[in-house]
Amino acid sequence: MNVKRIVSTCLGLFVVSTQAFAADIPDTGSAGWAGWYLGLSAVKFGKKYDDANSAYHVLGGYAFNKHVAFEAGYIGISGGGTGQIRVVGTLPVNDQFFVNAKLGTLVRDHETPRDINLGLGLGYNLNQSTSLRADWDRRHHKGKAVEGDFYSLGVVFKF
């Protein structure tokens, strides 16, 4: 699958959706959050998947409004880990459920960010300050025939 086409489509949908909802954004009173995820990471080398490994993700974020946010975190996988930064677009389904899409890059050892990180997620608000989330993230390492999937469940606390 063409990564440039996927990224272009995600960016286009993200821009259109944020503009469409910009007029009805209420003040939620909380803009920051911190979270913790546990999951499985599978890495694909060429056409073959490596065994799945346990992984974790620690993150923090800032919501500019109820549809657009910035997120930074660390993904720890057996044998190492990496930082990441990304933009998150969220679409509420109702008062409890929401879906989100993520686009960002991985950051490793003072390298120029080149790797693409895409993600989709489903969340459930337990209350105004706590949500449960199920996410899928795809990491594409530019210039290498390596891709990675991270399937996770997490909890996020808003403050």
Long-range contact pairs involving 127-131 (C-beta distance under 8 Å, separation at least 24)? 128/28, 128/30, 128/158, 129/30, 129/157, 129/158, 129/159, 130/155, 130/156, 130/157, 130/158, 131/98, 131/155, 131/156, 131/158
Handedness of CA 144, 146, 151, 152 (dihedral sign): negative
- Stretches where the chain sits below pLDDT 50 are 1-3, 7, 10-11, 13-27
Question: Considering the entire predicted model, what is its pTM?
Answer: 0.74
Q: Give the pLDDT confidence score for residue 148 in this predicted structure.
A: 80
What is the residue extent of each domain of the chain?
Answer: 3-23+30-158
Domain 3-23+30-158 has CATH 2.40.160.20: yes
